[in-house]
Chain A
Amino acid sequence: MNQPASAYFLEERHDPNETHTLSVLVANEPGVLARVIGLFSGRGYNIESLTVSETESQKHVSRITIVTTGTPMVIQQIKHQLDRMIPVFHVVDMTLTGRSIERELAMVKVRGGGDNRVEALRLADAFRARVIDATTESFVFEITGNSQKISQFIDLMRPLGLVEVSRTGVAAIGRGPEGM
């Protein structure tokens, strides 16, 4: 391996990247989201999607769902790095448990008339998207599902007059009776 003169060993790893969804329970204290995001940016990890909201208000617990990509070693590092943060209660790799449901909500604005408008409505029906706002020349659809389904719907809307999209990012929960 050739490398330029350097104090560091410059290694290139070629392990394939994986995508994982992590659920992180954190104490809902000021700055906690900044800590999590800072960890990702500071250590060069990827964030594909991030959602956060308080889920247990009496206990001041928030749940953060992060979709990230990396080599298996990096994914393991991310989990350990998250877990050792002081306000983090618990980290669960939903992808590893293999028994999780992932959903995302999107609002999709489409503008147009004539056949395009009819086609958009028809596709929305097929995707079980609801119309939540309408004018004579536009619709806003609300669609829920996994990220793939939403991306597919958005792609289909593009030639029909797609104006803009707002997506929530992924929320995930495990199947079965047990909590995380």
Chain B
Amino acid sequence: MSESKSRDLREDPNQMTGAAMIVRALADHGVKHVFGYPGGAVLPIYDEIFQQSEVEHILVRHEQGAGHAAEGYARSTGKPGVVLVTSGPGATNMVTPLTDALMDSIPLVCITGQVPTHLIGNDAFQECDTVGITRPSTKHNWLVRNVNDLAKVLHEAFYVATSGRPGPVVVDVPKDVQFATGTYHPPRKSDVHVSYQPRVKGDAVQIRKAVSLLASAKRPVIYSGGGVINSGTDASKLLRELVDVTGFPITSTLMGLGAYPASGPNWLGMLGMHGTYEANMAMHDCDVMLCVGARFDDRITGRTDAFSPGSKKIHIDIDPSSINKNIRVDVPIIGDAGNVLGDILQVFKAEAKKPDIKTWWQQIATWKARNSLAYKKNNDVILPQFAIQRLFEAVRGRDAYITTEVGQHQMWAAQFFGFEQPHHWMTSGGLGTMGYGLPAAIGVQVAHRDSLVIDIAGDASVQMTMQEMSTAVQYELPIKIFILNNQYMGMVRQWQQLLHGNRLSHSYTEAMPDFVKLAQAYGGVGLQVTKPADLDGAIKEMISVKKPVLFDCRVAALENCFPMIPSGKAHNEMLLPAEANDEATAAAFAGGKALV
């Protein structure tokens, strides 16, 4: 390099290595935390991270943990979560969280190292076809072969991850591109993406149609989903206002909990397979359904040909491919949930009156009276529902964030924990990833250092990513892992009981670790409780401890999760806990006429 050229390099602050560009771009996009794990193909980036203080790196114990932590971070803040992992196994270990984020529309920017460009396709050490493998698990991905494309791609990555329906993206950067020097440019407002400009504002004609349907409704229901949460806190405010202005009952998907407060007067509880009786019956019998930011998932609809047969359906979604995918709707509105809700409110307030739906509310009250979440009290063993109720009472009024693993405990958490605010509930809905909750709690705690973060866990799920306890201890993240320990994969066992003749094939964990000792081994605190009478005290202690806690809550081993829509059934054919004795359950699930 000539002397004059090297002087130019020093003088132009936008001349830098690819590795430096990555760290610079993260800072330019306001990224404060990156979750990652180093390796050969990302060492230049780690070297840059070492030499700066704007972006803090959180070292996990397994790349999957980094992905879920970033998901928890994103979901609790509304900002994109950022992950940095190496090539090969680093990238393949990220496939689960990427797919999880895709299913639940979580914005993630994942930067993967790649072998040097001249080795790509050579079966080099720790090489894999990262863009090929992650193509169906991401909203979009890029392999950057030229350092001068890197800045543009990084900015595009943040744009794509966070705009429209959010989702995960991968930027794959070969090691030689990280070393190469090129020109960086900061993100510019004027940069318009040539082919991706999702529609935000709803069509005015469709909005009017929707309002006139709402205004003439006799038996309306609002069904909201994760899209309302993703749209931002304003969307939740508007949703609450719409509920107040219309007086309509509202239910929500698993992903949408907290958009409308569980203590609100119009709240029906969650809907779907393990939703409340009143929510599902209201969905089935309604005459007008307003679906906001939800996608008629198969856990929600039950059998589709019997789904809410008599209703006109309005569907607000930012993703046109969500419309008419599972359920044909009458008034589709493509746009951002918050934006469209604002327009609907405005038109409704100007032109419509609160419809009189007193008889509908009376009907709902009779469904509510069935008390579909009831369970038998027990003074000898802790029932998992009871444990979650006590946990909820203990943290009520605090700024508590809840994550979960996947299974029975997840459904009980959704049923028995009342969520008052959006962004306070992190769970793996679409993909159903066991092992999500512990690392997600780490991500949440990194974003909210002083808040109470609790992972409501199952004993099986939590062992899938248990190693991240070590991360929590390293970064002094006082997450609480509240394990409902029944020694079974409870939901698997429940289904084996209901659907597979009670043959409990490999759903019992015969060798369970001592969670108290395990917590201590990691440098955290372990607590165990076996008696209902001791529960409140132990929960209090868990909350007061300023360290990561594994809380081994020994619960009734064979408790099942009700109410439930049996497979192949409609919303109005729920199995309620009071009726779920052995005979009725067998009849509802075993072959013959019950499945007709």
Contact = CB atoms under 8 A, between A and B. Distances in A.
Chain B interface extent, by class: 35 or more
B499 A6 contact: yes
Contacts of A1: 303, 568, 595-596
Contacts, number: 79
Given A3-B595, A5-B567, A31-B131, A86 B303 contact: no
B546 interface: no
A49 interface: no
Interface in A10-32: 10-11, 26-27, 30-31
Nearest to A8: B298
B21 to A, nearest CB: 20
Contacts of A35: 135
Given A7-B495, A77-B325, A84 B319 contact: yes
Nearest to B273: A7
A6 B589 CA distance: 10
Contacts of B302: 9
A80 B321 contact: yes
A3 B568 contact: yes
A148 to B, nearest CB: 31
B304 interface: yes
A113 interface: no
A76 interface: yes
Interface stretch (B136-144, B408-416, B469-477, B513-521): B136-144
Q: Which of B304, B323, B568 gathers most chain A CB within 10 Å?
A: B568
Nearest to A81: B321
A11 B304 contact: yes
Given A6-B499, A73-B328, A89 B596 contact: no
A86 B160 contact: yes
Interface in B155-206: 160, 164-165, 194-196, 198
B143 A73 contact: no
B305 interface: yes
A89 B194 CA distance: 8
Given A9-B298, A38-B135, A38-B136, A84 B321 contact: yes
Interface string A72-99: 0100110011011111110000000000
B355 interface: no
Nearest to B301: A9
A2 interface: yes
Contact of A11 (B164, B303, B320, B500): B303
A35 B495 CA distance: 36
Interface in B112-169: 131-132, 135-136, 139-140, 143, 160, 164-165
A160 to B, nearest CB: 44
A8 B105 CA distance: 22
B135 A31 contact: yes
B462 to A, nearest CB: 22
Nearest to B496: A5
B567 A8 contact: yes
A42 interface: yes
A11 B305 CA distance: 8
B591 interface: yes
Contacts of B596: 1-2
B194 A5 contact: no
Nearest to A6: B567
B177 to A, nearest CB: 14
A167 B143 CA distance: 33
A126 interface: no
Contacts of B198: 84
B136 A42 contact: yes
A5 B195 CA distance: 44
A89 B197 CA distance: 10
Contacts of B164: 84
Contact of B195 (A73, A81, A88): A88
Contacts of B298: 8-9
A81 B324 CA distance: 12
Contacts of A73: 324-325, 328
B319 A5 contact: no
A11 B139 CA distance: 28
A180 interface: no
Nearest to B491: A7
B334 to A, nearest CB: 10
Contacts of A9: 298, 301-304, 567-568
A87 B142 CA distance: 11
Interface string A53-81: 00000000000000000000100110011
Nearest to A83: B320
20 contacts: A2-B596, A3-B568, A5-B500, A5-B567, A5-B589, A7-B567, A9-B302, A9-B567, A26-B195, A27-B194, A27-B195, A34-B135, A35-B135, A38-B135, A42-B136, A73-B324, A77-B324, A80-B320, A86-B195, A89-B194
Interface of B: 131-132, 135-136, 139-140, 143, 160, 164-165, 194-196, 198, 298, 301-305, 319-321, 323-325, 328, 495, 498-500, 567-568, 589, 591, 595-596
